[in-house]
Amino acid sequence: MKKLNLEILSFILTALAIALVVTLYSWDGMVYFIEKGNGRTPAKFSEISSFKDIKSKKAFISLTEVISEDTIVINTKEKTNFKLKAIFNNNNKNICNEFSKIKVKFVALNTSVSGDTPNIVIETNCKVDNRNYMEGIKFPKKMLQEISLSEKVLFHYDQKISLNNIYDQLPEQFQMSEVIFYNPREGASSGSLKIDLPANNDLKIRL
């Protein structure tokens, strides 16, 4: 009897542990495999007071590292969701407090058309969720495979998607190459922030 009770207790504890893991690694009630990401702690930069005026090269490089190394990648059959870690300045304001929009560029790998690299640009609202990540950039794999490539501007959820230098065939692989934070109603002098990612980053998509 004691052995049976211990087995039941062990089963209950194992079930609770599994439930805890599922809770920690799930969004919107669905469970995914997380490929990258180093926790929910926001990235804070004590040397930055305004993201519109970053003067330190070291701080800029650190921003690049946060995006290229701490982004969570969530894969489903229909889309790949990139959740960028929330970035805060020394006033505890996140980057979306300064910029209302985010634009992410994905370039095709090992493909060019007349010397120009095919690319897909996704624009959406800049928002930070309660888990200290920016709301995801959704790369719609299935939709892109089903549409006519004569369409150059698409809309998916609250995203605007632009297809550039893509004509007869959709490339099979893309890689995130740059992230731009901006305010659409302000001019360039307002200080949009462009972050170029290293060519060897792992933020890739295979269709």
What's residue 142's pLDDT? 93
Q: Is the pLDDT at 30 greater than 60, yes or no?
A: no
| 3-state per-residue secondary structure call for 118-138 | CEEEEEEECCECCCCEECCEE
| Angle at CA of residue 82, ends 79 and 86, nearest 5° | 155
Three-class DSSP category at 188: helix
> In what side-by-side order are the strands of the sheet with 72-75?
72-75, 80-83, 137-139
Q: Which of 39-53, 55-69, 71-85 has the lowest mean pLDDT?
A: 39-53
Is residue 17 located within the same domain as residue 42?
no
Residues 90 and 24 in one domain: no
Mean pLDDT of the chain: 80
In terms of domains, do 26 and 126 share one?
no
The fraction of the chain above a pLDDT of 90, given in percent, is: 47
Domains contained in the chain, number? 2
pLDDT digits (tens, 9 = 90+) for 101-117: 999 999 999 887 777 89
Instruction: Give yes or no: residues 6 and 86 share one domain.
Output: no
19 in the same domain as 81: no
Q: What is the mean pLDDT of residues 134-160?
A: 91
Could you say which DSSP state residue 113 is in?
B
- Judged against a pLDDT cut of 70, whether residue 119 lies above it is answered with yes
* pTM of the complete model: 0.77
The domain in which residue 133 lies consists of 32-206
List residues bridging with 87 in a β-sheet.
Answer: 43
Bridge partner residues of 88 (DSSP): 44, 94
Single out the residue of 185, 187, 158, 163 nearest to residue 174, CA to CA: 163
13 pLDDT more than 80: no
Residues 119 and 167 both lie in one domain: yes
For residues 110 and 166, membership in a common domain is answered with yes
Q: How confident is the model at residue 181 (pLDDT cuts 50, 70, 90)?
A: very high
User: Token pair for residue 45?
Assistant: 């930069």
